[in-house]
Chains A and B, each alone.
Chain A
Amino acid sequence: MAYSEKVIEHYENSRNVGTLDKEDPNVGTGLVGAPACGDLMRLQLKISDDGIVQDAKFKTYGCGSAIASSSLVSEWVKGKSVDEAQTITNKEIARELSLPPVKIHCSVLAEDAIKAAIKDFQEKRAKRQAQAVVAPKAETPAQP
């Protein structure tokens, strides 16, 4: 099957391949897979406290379209707010890369990866905030 030029471009010169520190409280990690093809995609977003995506790294094991889809979204999300990043749809990804119908699932995977990464970040933050509320009480001895 012939890949579109944009897919080849992202495949050969993938942007933002790599990893961010999973333990960093500002990093959200999204790991998604498609059992239909055995593709695996990990997208990590570094999100500032005011909710802006500052950095994005991905690692994808799969076909050219899956790699291109993740490379593309890693570029798209940078500088966006979390709310804006949430609205990226697989349709936009598929259109940008001219994916054929059999490869639409690659763009779905990329959309899912964004949402999973944001969800992970938000859950981390919620946990941190819950601890921040509880912690001072636990640390401070009972006041007379």
Chain B
Amino acid sequence: MNHFEVFGLAPVLELDVKALEQRHRALSLELHPDRLVAADAKARLSALEKTAALNDAFKVLKDPVRRAFYVLRLKGVDLESEGGAARAAMPMAFLEEVMERRERLEALKARGELAQARALADDVAREQQAALERAKAALTSDDVAEATHQLGRVRYYARFIEEVEAFEEEASS
């Protein structure tokens, strides 16, 4: 069963997270050990496994970025694995752009320029959002190559933002 099927859903890019949360709670209750005191060991084990699958599915589906990566995976491209195809999908100009941004951030970190680093991260976050929207459009029209490329961008941007967040945390501690 894939993550969508766990919730009785068809693979979709947009979903109501509130409703998903309610469904998650309801399904968790059904599988709760307290309800299975009378059940045999096999049934209890199966309930445990289902709970684990339910929680995994929830974690992925509630997050729009992870959800998009997962829909891409269902279309045959696993960006979590180390496929050469996925690597080749990133254009050189993009890698150069990320490298340049990373170097700029490194210089800002060395000088303790928090505000400027935050401004960089905000720019990147906007581009990440735009790339995610393009990825979703590509997934909808079944353009797997374009979706792979755009989600690759999303991944690099996410790393960049994490780097800024780590810097901010370090500075505030």
Interface residue? B87 (CB, 8 A): yes
Considering the complex, give the chain A residue whose CB is closest to the CB of B156. A38
Contact between A31 and B155 (Cβ–Cβ < 8 Å)? no
Q: A31-B96, A31-B99, A61-B102 are in contact. Are A36 and B159 (CB under 8 A)?
A: no
Contact between B96 and A32 (Cβ–Cβ < 8 Å)? no
Contact between A105 and B82 (Cβ–Cβ < 8 Å)? yes
Contact between A38 and B92 (Cβ–Cβ < 8 Å)? no
Q: Which of B96, B103, B159 contacts A38 (CB 8 A)?
A: B159
Contact between A35 and B159 (Cβ–Cβ < 8 Å)? no
Residues facing A in B93-120 (CB within 8 A) are: 95-96, 98-99, 102-103
A33 to B96, CA, bound (A): 10
Interface residue? B86 (CB, 8 A): yes
Interface residues on B, range: 20 to 34
Q: A105-B82, A108-B82 are in contact. Are A35 and B89 (CB under 8 A)?
A: yes
Residues facing B in A35-61 (CB within 8 A) are: 35-40, 42, 59, 61
**Across the interface, which residues of B come within 8 angstroms of A38, CB to CB?**
155-156, 158-160
A59 to B104, CA, bound (A): 13
| Most chain B beta carbons < 10 A, residue from A32, A36, A42 | A36
Interface residue? A104 (CB, 8 A): yes
A40 to B101, CA, bound (A): 12
One digit per residue, 1 when the CB lies within 8 angstroms of any chain A CB and 0 when it does not, for chain B 144-167 equals 000000011001101110010000
Contact between B89 and A32 (Cβ–Cβ < 8 Å)? no
A112 to B90, CA, bound (A): 14
| Most chain B beta carbons < 10 A, residue from A37, A39, A108, A112 | A37
Interface residues on A, range: 10 to 19
Q: How far is the CB of B155 from chain A (nearest CB, A)?
A: 5
Residues facing A in B118-173 (CB within 8 A) are: 151-152, 155-156, 158-160, 163
Contact between A40 and B156 (Cβ–Cβ < 8 Å)? yes
Contact between A33 and B87 (Cβ–Cβ < 8 Å)? yes
Q: A40-B95, A40-B98 are in contact. Are A33 and B81 (CB under 8 A)?
A: no
Interface residue? B47 (CB, 8 A): no
Considering the complex, give the chain A residue whose CB is closest to the CB of B158. A38
Given A35-B79, A35-B90, A108-B82, 7 further pairs, Cβ under 8 A: A34-B82, A35-B151, A37-B159, A39-B159, A61-B159, A61-B163, A104-B82
- Could you list which residues of chain A lie within 8 angstroms of chain B, going by C-beta atoms? 31-40, 42, 59, 61, 104-105, 108, 112
Listed A/B pairs (26) with beta-carbon separation below 8 Å: A31-B95, A31-B96, A31-B99, A32-B87, A33-B95, A34-B82, A35-B79, A35-B86, A35-B89, A35-B90, A35-B152, A35-B155, A35-B156, A36-B81, A36-B155, A38-B155, A38-B156, A38-B159, A39-B159, A40-B95, A40-B98, A40-B102, A61-B102, A61-B159, A104-B82, A112-B87
Per CB-CB distance, the 8 closest pairs between chain A and chain B, nearest first, are A38-B159, A35-B152, A105-B82, A38-B155, A61-B102, A38-B156, A33-B95, A31-B95
